[in-house]
């Protein structure tokens, strides 16, 4: 235990007493302080997870006791349920469209804000606000009204309501996410401010233009932050639910075009009362997100540059 | 038996996990301080229904000073999910409002009490026998219908009259209805009505008009893919002709009258249940009138008097007699009827119906008149739909979406639906 930085006599004395106490007693105290968290994590997270894993091997309609069916839910999911694959495809499409768009927009705005002399705080808050509001159902509902048949977008572009066209509805969902670029933007902004100004000076002395500076200085220096944002937003995108739910009134329509994975999971569990099947879907999603994250980490070795590596 | 205990524990734990909100898992109806019995009574509805229900409950408490009734309500979808979680956790409210589609599942899941055993306090003699039978599953009376509704073609009177197309009479066939839709579209430049292809309810009416039914008595599918193909081909053709609403309009239907083409002023009529049709009053300037649903080619009526909602009591209630008393009070008491009016549909008890009939005004009266015009002409309602039906209603809409957006032929979509329905009814 280190007491560096604590200089009041009281603190020093209590630290000394603590050192004299047997190790086990100190552990006991630690457990007492940890207990609310441990209790919460066990009762609210670990136990339900274990139950959900068990349920995924059963047939459970909420009313009758779960009935063990082995791997049947998983087999049915992969071989007999076209709508399941439809939801997988929809979610992948969504991730591939929404995440890059969102990160690109976040980066562009962060770059613009970085160069600003005045009003930075205001704009930063203004751009961040949608992220705070975005999780709410009300915004999603407004979004639906905007993209409706007869809504604002329809009036401006005469497209006849994106939310009601199977080819466009998913894009409307993606745009809602893209619009909430505040969180990655703030992180980008922090990352950009960490890049030493000397690097840009050196680059410009070497005759590098703005674009060259961006590609050769900003991007590599920012790559850890970019990676962080990419992983975080990808994980979030796989779990998209609220906007798809709101735009399609919970049905995943029109014609299943916004039937994302979690929405179908919800449908199976709470509408069709197949809790076992829904649990199995949840576990497959967990594993899939784990796998995708692992792949991202693997590829990161080739493109993420940590400043400390250069000093080695 | 340890194995059994573990299972029970798991179910409880899952229910707890699913509850998420602590409010969802309140205490059960045990006796409270002062020796008063506490009953929990939950229902779905709107503020208007809430106000009247509170008054009715206050009257009940006044007459039974030893009983206190705790009420709670929410919108239908939220109610459905909350009740399912409560029931799964063995914590169903003592008295609960139920939908036709919930009864089979709740009854076979052991959530409901057989009310026939409470005959001394709960009287059912005043209720139409056919209607009462809808609350029966496997021979036991698990629920008592509280209100009566039926389907209708609600239409914009002024708009229809102005088009010059003859107003709907007291009976018409599906072909005559289709011709009227075409004529309206031609004269008004907008679809005659909502595309009924997405509605399982409308399909049922059409099917019954042909002498078939959605489900057989032994809870299997009562129709074939060929039947559904014929229905969807019929509606799809009307949609292509512009006689009924386009896919973009149809897909926005969510059960509220505001989102129907008629409610948006984009069509002249809408097939709907009669009670919610009152909502059109505020949306359609020229006023709304009700016509019967189209019948089969030989005049066989497809629509029926459906219980708009039921009351049931929990199997594990600590006070079965008092719970049954409350049900009896809500269904049979003329004083309650005067308070509740037609907020839960037209009352099922004939004496009560006569009692409040003259007191009804506005759209309540329109509905009552419409229903009495059908009295004696309709066939008995089917028994409560089997458990899987709850999910199939949504599947029906989704599969028809594929047809109306021209991504699938009616034949292919119908085959899909029948496959899924069979799987759903098996499980």
Q: Which residues numbered 17-36 in B keep a CB inside 8 Å of some CB on A?
A: 17
Contact assignment for B251 to A61 by CB distance below 8 Å: no
Average pLDDT, chain A: 83
Residues B392 and B331 in one domain: no
**What mean pLDDT is predicted for residues B67-96?**
86
Interval B17-22 mean pLDDT: 40
Of B182, B202, B198, whose CA–CA distance to B190 is shortest? Answer: B182
Above 70 in pLDDT, residue B350? yes
For residues B133 and B58, state if they share a domain.
Answer: yes
Mean pLDDT of the region A194-219: 86
Report if residue B243 sits inside a domain: yes
Interface contact B391-A273, CB threshold 8 A: yes
Q: Do B109 and A61 touch (CB under 8 A)?
A: yes
Strands (DSSP E) along B75-217, which ranges? 95-98, 136-137, 140-141, 144-149, 151-156
Residue B66 belongs to a domain = yes
pLDDT reported for residue A225:
92
Q: For residue B59, what is the domain's CATH number?
A: 3.40.190.10
Q: Is B273 left (phi over 0), alpha (psi -120 to 50) or beta?
A: beta
Q: Is the pLDDT of residue B24 over 50?
A: no
For the beta carbon of residue A128, count every other beta carbon within 10 angstroms: 17
Q: What angle do CA A177, A279, B200 make, to 5 degrees?
A: 75
Q: Based on C-alpha coordinates, what's the Rg of chain B?
A: 22
**pLDDT confidence of residue B129:** 84
At B34 the pLDDT is 56
Structure confidence at residue B22 as a pLDDT band (50, 70, 90): very low
Within a domain: residue B6? no
CA–CA separation, A47 and B301 (whole Å): 54
Residue B2 counted as domain residue: no
Chain B residues within 8 A of A51 when measuring between CB atoms: 10, 13-14, 17
- With contacts defined as CB-CB under 8 Å, which chain B residues touch A48? 13-14, 16-17
CA distance B295 to B171: 7
For the cut 90, the answer to whether the pLDDT of residue B151 exceeds it is: yes
Greatest pairwise CA separation for chain A in angstroms: 78
Query: When comparing pLDDT for A136 and B236, which is higher?
Result: B236
Global pTM reads 0.79
Same domain? For B411 and B283 the reply is yes
Q: Which whole-number Å values give the CA distances from B179 to B172, B173, B183, B186, in the listed order?
A: 11, 10, 6, 11
Average confidence (pLDDT) over A290-294: 95
Interface test with B, best of A164, A250, A276 (most B CBs within 10 A): A164
Q: Is the pLDDT at A92 greater than 80, yes or no?
A: yes
Distance CA A81, CA B178 (A): 36
d(CA B205, CA B223): 13
Segment A129-140 mean pLDDT: 71
- The predicted pLDDT at position A17 comes to 54
Q: What is the per-residue pLDDT across A2-37, written as a single tens digit (0 to 9) for each? A: 444 444 455 455 555 555 566 777 788 888 999 999
Residue B345: per-residue pLDDT: 81
Query: From the list A47, A148, A273, which residue is nearest B390 (CB)?
Result: A273
Say which of A54, A63, A149 has its CB closest to residue B10. A54
Disruptive mutation site among A75, A161, A166, A265 for chain B (greatest number of B CBs within 10 Å):
A166
> Could you tell me the two tokens for B338?
């005067």
The answer to whether A59 contacts chain B (CB < 8 Å) is yes
pLDDT at B26 over 70: no
Q: What would the mean pLDDT of B289-314 be, rounded to a whole number? A: 92
* Chain B stretch 79-138, residues whose beta carbon is closer than 8 A to a beta carbon of chain A: 81, 84-85, 87-88, 105-106, 108-111
Does the distance separating the beta carbons of A166 and B405 come in below 8 Å?
yes
Cross-chain Cβ contact A62/B87 below 8 Å:
yes
Q: What distance in Å separates the CA atoms of residue B131 and residue B348, rounded to the nearest whole number?
A: 8
Least confident of B200-209, B250-259, B413-422: B250-259
**Quick one: tokens of A123?**
């704009």
Are A113 and A186 within 8 A, CB to CB? no
Judgement on whether residues B194 and B253 belong to the same structural domain of the protein? yes
In whole angstroms, give the CA distance from residue B420 to residue A161.
Answer: 31
* Cβ–Cβ under 8 Å, residues B17 and A51: yes
List the single range of A4-13, A72-81, A202-211, B284-293 with lowest mean pLDDT.
Answer: A4-13
Q: pLDDT class for A134, splitting at 50, 70, 90?
A: low
- Output the six-digit token pair for B216: 């057989």
Question: B337 and B411: one domain?
Answer: no
Q: Which of B23-32, B68-77, B227-236 has the highest mean pLDDT?
A: B227-236
* Residue B23: predicted pLDDT: 37
- Tell me, yes or no, whether B67 and B180 share the same domain: no
Using a pLDDT cut of 70, give the percent of chain B over it: 92
Those residues whose C-beta lies under 8 Å from the C-beta of residue B202, and which sit 6 or more positions away, are B151, B196, B271, B293
Q: Which residues in chain B (360-389) have CB-CB distances under 8 A to chain A?
A: 387-388
Task: Report residue B2's pLDDT band, with 50, 70 and 90 as the boundaries.
Answer: very low
Segment among A66-75, A119-128, B3-12 with least mean pLDDT: B3-12
Residue A91 banded pLDDT, cuts 50, 70, 90: very high
List, as ranges, residues 293-312 from B with C-beta within 8 Å of A: none
Q: How many domains does chain B have?
A: 2
User: What is the pLDDT confidence band of residue B16, given thresholds at 50, 70 and 90?
Assistant: very low
Residues B344 and B407 in one domain: no
Integer-rounded Cα Rg, in Å, for chain A is: 25
Question: What is the C-alpha separation between B217 and A251, in angstroms, rounded?
Answer: 30
Task: For residue B299, tell me if it sits in a domain.
Answer: yes
Residue B355 maps to a domain: yes
- Asked if the structure places residue B354 within a domain, the reply is yes
Cα A22 to Cα B178: distance, rounded to the nearest angstrom = 88
Closest chain B C-alpha to A157 CA, distance in angstroms: 17
CB atoms within 10 A of CB B385: 23
HSE, CB side, 13 Å, CA atoms: give it for residue A224: 11
Please say if the pLDDT value at position B290 is more than 80.
Answer: yes
Is pLDDT above 90 for A99?
yes
How many Å apart are CA B209 and CA B287, to the nearest integer? 29
Residues B88, B170, single domain; the answer is no
Peptide bond just before A24 cis, omega within 30 deg = no
Contact A65 B8 (CB under 8 A): yes
Mean pLDDT, range A162-168, rounded to an integer:
73
Residues of A in contact with B14 (CB under 8 A): 48, 51-52, 55, 60, 275
Nearest to B233 by CA among B174, B277, B290, B304: B174
Residue numbers of the domain that contains B87? 13-149+306-374
- Residue among B126, B11, B34, B48 at smallest CA distance from B364: B48
Range among B90-94, B201-205, B423-427 rated most confident: B201-205
- Tell me the C-alpha distance between B328 and B115, whole Å: 10
pLDDT single digits (tens) B378-412: 888 888 888 788 788 888 988 999 999 998 999 99
Residue B51 confidence (pLDDT)? 86
Q: Is B258 a domain residue?
A: yes
Question: Of residues A152 and B381, which shows the higher confidence score?
Answer: B381
Q: What's the pLDDT score for residue A173?
A: 83
- CB-based contact A253 B84, cutoff 8 Å: no
Q: Is this prediction's ipTM beyond 0.85?
A: no
- Model confidence pLDDT, tens digit, residues A33-79: 999 999 999 999 999 999 999 999 998 888 778 889 999 999 999 99
Q: Is B69 helix (H, G, I), strand (E, B) or coil?
A: strand
Interface test with B, best of A245, A273, A282 (most B CBs within 10 A): A273
Same domain, B155 and B283: yes
What is the C-alpha to C-alpha distance for residues A212 and A205, in angstroms, rounded to an integer?
12
Q: Quick one: pLDDT at residue B283?
A: 86
């Amino acid at each position: 235990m280190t007491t560096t930085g604590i200089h009041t006599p009281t603190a020093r004395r209590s630290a000394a007493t603590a050192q004299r106490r047997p190790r086990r007693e100190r552990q006991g105290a630690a457990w007492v302080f940890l207990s609310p968290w441990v209790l919460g994590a066990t009762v609210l997270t670990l136990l339900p997870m274990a139950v959900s894993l068990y349920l995924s091997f059963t047939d459970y309609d909420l009313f009758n006791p779960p009935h063990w069916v082995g791997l049947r839910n998983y087999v049915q999911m992969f071989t007999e349920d076209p709508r399941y694959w439809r939801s997988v495809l929809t979610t992948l499409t969504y991730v591939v469209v929404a995440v890059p768009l969102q990160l690109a927009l976040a980066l562009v705005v962060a770059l613009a804000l970085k160069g600003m002399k005045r009003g930075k705080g205001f704009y930063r808050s203004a751009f961040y606000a949608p992220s705070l509001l975005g999780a709410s159902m009300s915004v999603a509902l407004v979004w639906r009204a905007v993209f409706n048949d007869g809504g604002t977008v329809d009036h401006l572009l005469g497209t006849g309501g994106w939310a009601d066209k199977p080819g466009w509805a998913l894009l409307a969902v993606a745009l809602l996410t893209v619009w909430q670029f505040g969180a990655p933007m703030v992180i980008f902004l922090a990352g950009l401010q960490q890049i030493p100004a000397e690097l840009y000076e050196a680059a410009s002395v070497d005759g590098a233009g703005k674009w060259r500076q961006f590609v050769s200085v900003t991007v590599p220096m920012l790559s850890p932050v970019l990676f962080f944002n990419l992983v975080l937003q990808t994980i979030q995108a796989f779990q998209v639910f609220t906007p798809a739910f709101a735009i399609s009134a919970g049905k995943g329509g029109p014609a299943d075009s916004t039937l994302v994975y979690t929405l179908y999971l919800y449908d199976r569990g709470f509408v069709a009362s197949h809790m076992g099947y829904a649990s199995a879907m949840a576990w497959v999603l967990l594993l899939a997100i784990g796998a995708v994250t692992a792949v991202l980490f693997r590829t990161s070795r080739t493109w993420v540059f940590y400043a400390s590596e250069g000093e080695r | 038996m340890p194995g059994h205990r573990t299972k029970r524990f798991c179910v409880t734990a899952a229910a707890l996990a699913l509850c998420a909100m602590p409010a969802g898992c309140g205490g059960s109806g045990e006796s409270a301080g002062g020796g008063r019995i506490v009953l929990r009574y939950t229902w779905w509805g709107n503020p208007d229904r809430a106000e009247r229900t509170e008054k009715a409950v206050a009257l009940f408490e006044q007459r039974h000073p030893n009983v206190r009734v705790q009420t709670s309500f929410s919108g239908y979808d939220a109610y459905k999910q909350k009740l399912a979680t409560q029931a799964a956790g063995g914590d169903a409210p003592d008295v609960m409002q139920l939908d036709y589609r919930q009864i089979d599942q709740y009854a076979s899941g052991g959530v409901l009490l057989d009310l026939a055993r409470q005959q001394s306090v709960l009287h059912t003699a005043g209720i139409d026998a056919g209607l009462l039978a809808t609350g029966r599953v496997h021979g036991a009376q698990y629920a008592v219908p509280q209100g009566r509704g039926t389907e209708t073609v609600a239409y914009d009177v002024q708009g229809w009259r102005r088009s010059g197309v003859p107003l709907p009479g007291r009976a018409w066939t599906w072909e005559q209805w289709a011709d009227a839709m075409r004529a309206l579209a031609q004269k008004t430049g907008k679809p005659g009505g909502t595309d009924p292809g997405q509605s399982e309810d409308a399909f049922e009416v059409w099917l019954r008009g042909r002498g078939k039914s959605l489900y057989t008595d032994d809870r299997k599918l009562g129709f074939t893919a060929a039947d559904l193909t014929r229905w969807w081909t019929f509606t799809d053709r009307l949609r292509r002709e512009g006689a009924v609403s386009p896919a973009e309009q149809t897909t926005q239907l969510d059960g509220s009258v505001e989102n129907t083409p008629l409610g948006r002023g984009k069509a002249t009529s809408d097939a709907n249940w009669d009670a919610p049709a009152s909502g059109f009053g505020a949306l359609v300037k020229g006023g709304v009138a009700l016509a019967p649903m189209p019948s089969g080619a030989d005049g066989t009526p497809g629509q029926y008097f459906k219980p708009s909602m039921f009351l049931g009591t929990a199997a594990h209630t600590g006070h079965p007699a008092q719970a049954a008393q409350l049900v009896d009070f809500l269904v049979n008491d003329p004083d309650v009827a005067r308070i509740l009016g037609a907020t839960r549909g037209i009352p099922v008890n004939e004496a009560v119906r006569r009692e409040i009939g003259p007191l009804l005004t506005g759209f309540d009266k329109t509905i009552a008149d419409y229903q009495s015009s059908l009295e004696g002409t309709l066939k008995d309602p089917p028994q409560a739909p089997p458990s899987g039906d709850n999910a199939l209603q949504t599947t029906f809409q989704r599969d028809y979406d594929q047809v109306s957006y021209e991504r699938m032929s009616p034949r292919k979509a119908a085959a899909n639906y029948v496959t899924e329905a069979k799987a759903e009814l098996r499980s």
